[in-house]
């Protein structure tokens, strides 16, 4: 992850220093769905993944060189839910299935490289999630569901997004796009990696397998261009001024 941040920074700095430097702010939000990727869920016929609803809202600050290249920092607050259906649960009828759900809120920080051209954009970068209010629900045994402590308090992932300008001008604009993020970290907290979570109901499952959520979201963004730095080479010496649009 550190190598990715360094690479994005080098790409940004390598862009010509003669390009105009300008800044923007944005408000954004989105809704989508996510699933928990887990080898046991994929391989064991007793489990079926189920999509969960997620959303976020927040803002961004961007530093841009010229018309195409920029570095942004998005900070937002989101809610995420993942689950799967569990069948043949010990102590329950074999004909019934029960939902197991993992949910949490998080503060998300995303430094990203952004490329804009022909009224469209592409962005990529790391995501750092600081988990809040984790919770777990087990329809099979509601009274003995694992506590939220089983969910890791910090998660790291990758974000990729693209979209287009819908309307506006060079000062303020509305954009719409899609964003995908994959959580590289195990959703299970370090204290419980030796357990069978999230398959606590199955004594025959004794080996832990990583749970890595993946999300897809529709994103809306209102962007406002603050201004830019310009060099004045007339007269004695060179001066740099900040000009608003």
Q: Is 60 helix (H, G, I), strand (E, B) or coil?
A: strand
Whole-prediction pTM: 0.82
Q: How far apart are CA 211 and CA 209, in angstroms?
A: 7
Concatenated DSSP letters for 211-244?
A: EEEEEEEEEEEEEEEEEEEEEE-SSSS-EEEEEE
Percent of the chain with pLDDT over 70: 84
Query: Exposed, middle or buried by CB within 10 Å (0-12, 13-18, 19+), for 203?
Result: exposed
pLDDT for position 170 = 77
pLDDT for position 192 = 94
pLDDT for position 2 = 59
Confidence check: pLDDT of 28 > 80 = yes
Confidence check: pLDDT of 176 > 80 = yes
pLDDT for position 98 = 96
pLDDT of 80-116, one tens digit each?
Answer: 999 999 999 999 999 999 999 999 999 999 999 999 8
Q: Per the structure block, which two tokens stand in for 62?
A: 């961007």
pLDDT for position 231 = 53
Question: What CATH number is associated with residue 46?
Answer: 2.40.160.20
Backbone angles phi, psi at 241, to 5 degrees: -125, 150
Q: Per the structure block, which two tokens stand in for 243?
A: 């000009």
pLDDT for position 168 = 83
First to last CA, the chain: 36
Distances (CA, A) of 149 to 34, 71, 146, 203, 206: 21, 35, 8, 21, 20
16 or 182: which carries more pLDDT confidence? 182
Confidence check: pLDDT of 34 > 80 = yes
Residue pair 81/34 in contact (Cβ under 8 Å)? The answer is yes
Looking at residues 31-41, what average pLDDT do you find? 96
158 or 143: which carries more pLDDT confidence? 158
Confidence check: pLDDT of 223 > 70 = yes
Q: What is the DSSP letter of 146?
A: P
Looking at residues 124-142, what average pLDDT do you find? 96
Q: How far apart are CA 56 and CA 35, in angstroms?
A: 16
Residue 208: domain span: 2-244
Backbone angles phi, psi at 115, to 5 degrees: -120, 125
Q: Residue 240: pLDDT band by 50, 70, 90 thresholds?
A: very low
pLDDT for position 242 = 40
pLDDT for position 171 = 82
| Structural domain count, the chain | 1
């Amino acid at each position: 992850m550190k190598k990715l941040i360094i690479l994005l920074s080098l790409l940004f700095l390598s862009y010509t220093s003669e390009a105009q430097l300008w800044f923007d702010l944005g408000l954004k939000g989105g809704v989508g769905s996510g699933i928990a990727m887990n080898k046991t869920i994929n391989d064991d016929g007793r489990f079926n993944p189920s999509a969960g609803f997620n959303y976020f809202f927040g803002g961004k600050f961007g530093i841009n060189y010229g018309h195409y290249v920029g570095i942004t920092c998005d900070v937002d607050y989101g809610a995420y839910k993942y689950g799967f259906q569990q069948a043949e649960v010990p102590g329950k009828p074999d004909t019934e299935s029960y939902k197991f759900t993992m949910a949490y809120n998080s503060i998300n920080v995303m430094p990203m490289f952004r490329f804009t051209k022909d009224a469209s954009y592409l962005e990529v970068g790391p995501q750092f999630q600081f988990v809040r209010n984790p919770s777990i629900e087990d329809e099979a045994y509601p009274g003995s569901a694992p506590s939220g402590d089983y969910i890791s308090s910090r998660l790291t992932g990758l974000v990729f997004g693209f979209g287009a300008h819908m309307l506006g001008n060079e000062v303020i604009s509305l954009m719409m796009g899609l964003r995908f993020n994959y959580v590289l970290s195990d959703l299970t907290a370090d204290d419980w990696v030796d357990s069978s979570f999230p398959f606590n109901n199955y004594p025959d499952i004794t080996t832990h397998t990583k749970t890595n959520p993946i999300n897809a979201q529709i994103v809306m963004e209102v962007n406002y261009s603050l201004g830019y730095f310009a060099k004045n080479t007339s007269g004695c010496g060179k001066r740099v001024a900040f000009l608003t649009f």
